[in-house]
Chain A
Amino acid sequence: MTTETHHTPPISLFLKVWGLLFVLSFFSYLVEYIGIEGFWRWTLVLFFMVLKAWVILRVFMHVKWERLSLQLLLGLPTLVIFVLVAISAIEGNYIHNLRLEFFFR
């Protein structure tokens, strides 16, 4: 288990991923340029964002070739962030309503 296998992936893979990142960035810019609004804007922008982050993490940062132990070390604590997202969203909404209630009535 101690043998550190070092994968040196072919350069062509990095060039492909590089190209993919360009295309994804171009698509998210296109969403802006065309002027898609509302639900589809959020869906598309977030979709391209997550895909880009995923590719950078997996290929450029070599997480794909790391052992599951390191992947868990990085992934599990990061997931907890979503708890804070949920709590802060509830709180933000609450403060918004309070402000409307007390300053704009």
Chain B
Amino acid sequence: MQSTWDGVVADWSADKETFAMPWGKLMMWIFLLGDTFIFGIFLIGYMAVRMSAVEPWPDTEAIFTMTMFGHEFPLLLIAIMTFILITSSGTMAMAVNYGYRGDKRKAVMFMGLTALLGATFLGMQVFEWYQLIVHYDIRPWGNPHGASQFGAVFFMVTGFHGLHVLGGVILLIVMAIRVHRGLYDKKGYAVVEITGLYWHFVDLVWVFIFAFFYLL
């Protein structure tokens, strides 16, 4: 019987490797699967802590509001950070695309641009943390705006995500230099896609953080 499952059965039962792809790509996918569980557990922990909190949860709308041109914008900084990260995901996708087309110069250029946007995102996150700590007096052990658990969860999850962005920026710079120096000219540019997978994952996690920490 011919069905969609034939491919799966053949992949797993044939006398060969199951996943036909560069080993680095498979390892990156497995690493990302593990990372999904780490972030998943963090977010579920956040849910449990927020559900069990007796004091009201701090109103993120009030904390993250910015005033510009005499008008109040809720979550303006966070919205800009989100757009920057999405843009960096777009440039990364372009880098991967140009890598597979064999256009080394453009691939390196877009990788550099992605790293730059990632660094911008980090800079804005540092500014956000500074505001929360200095102006809103939020600490991991308590804050004047409501449930004391807010600081602990917020700093842990956004901090862990920020570390991932930092790692991604370093990885991008290193890989851009290596591609530029021609280390992958013979092997092919699968390495650009592998770096891209990691970067898109960082963006993916931010989609969830943006919704759960700021909007809801």
Chain A residues 13-33 with CB under 8 Å of chain B are 14-15, 17-18, 21-22, 25, 28-29, 31-33
User: Residue B163 at the A interface, CB < 8 A?
Assistant: no
A interface size (C-beta, 8 A): 57
A14 to chain B: closest CB distance in Å?
5
- Residues on the A chain within 8 Å of B193, using CB: 62
Given contacts A53-B208, A96-B52, A104-B54, contact A70 B29 (CB under 8 A): yes
Distance (Å) between the CB of A71 and the closest chain B CB?
9
Main secondary structure of the interface of A (DSSP, over half): helix
Query: Using Cβ atoms and an 8 Å threshold, which residues of chain B touch A8?
Result: 97, 100-101
B215-A77 in contact (CB<8A): no
A88 touches B201 (CB 8 A): no
Name the residue on A nearest B51 (C-beta).
A92
User: What's the Cα separation between A96 and B52 when bound, in Å?
Assistant: 4
**Partner-binding segment picked from B86-94, B131-139, B150-158, B170-178:** B86-94
Contact of A14 among B16, B50, B97, B216 (CB under 8 A): B97
Q: Which residue of B lies closest to A88 (CB)?
A: B48
Complex Cα spacing A57 to B203, Å: 10
Q: How far is the CB of A24 from chain B (nearest CB, A)?
A: 9
- One of B11, B33, B48, B86 near A25 (C-beta < 8 A): B86
Once bound together, how far apart are the Cα atoms of A18 and B10, in whole Å? 35
- B contacts with A, residue count (CB < 8 A): 61
* Cβ–Cβ contact A18 & B86, under 8 A: yes
Q: When A4-B21, A73-B29, A84-B44 are in contact, do A57 and B97 touch as well, CB less than 8 Å?
A: no
B107 neighbours in A (Cβ, 8 Å)? none
Give complex CA distance A4, B190 in Å: 12
Q: For the complex, is B37 an interface residue (Cβ under 8 Å from A)?
A: yes
Contact of A60 among B20, B45, B200 (CB under 8 A): B200
Q: Shortest CB–CB separation between residue B51 and chain A, in angstroms? A: 3
**Top 10 closest pairs, chain A to chain B, by CB:** A92-B51, A95-B52, A18-B90, A92-B48, A49-B211, A69-B11, A88-B48, A81-B40, A92-B52, A96-B52
Listed in ascending order, the chain A residues whose CB lies under 8 Å from chain B are 1-4, 6, 8-9, 11, 14-15, 17-18, 21-22, 25, 28-29, 31-33, 41-42, 45-46, 48-49, 52-53, 56-57, 59-62, 67-70, 72-74, 77-78, 81, 84-85, 88-89, 91-93, 95-96, 99-100, 103-104
12 more contacts with CB within 8 A, not counting A45-B215, A69-B7, are A2-B20, A6-B100, A11-B94, A22-B86, A25-B210, A29-B79, A60-B200, A69-B19, A74-B33, A78-B36, A84-B41, A85-B47
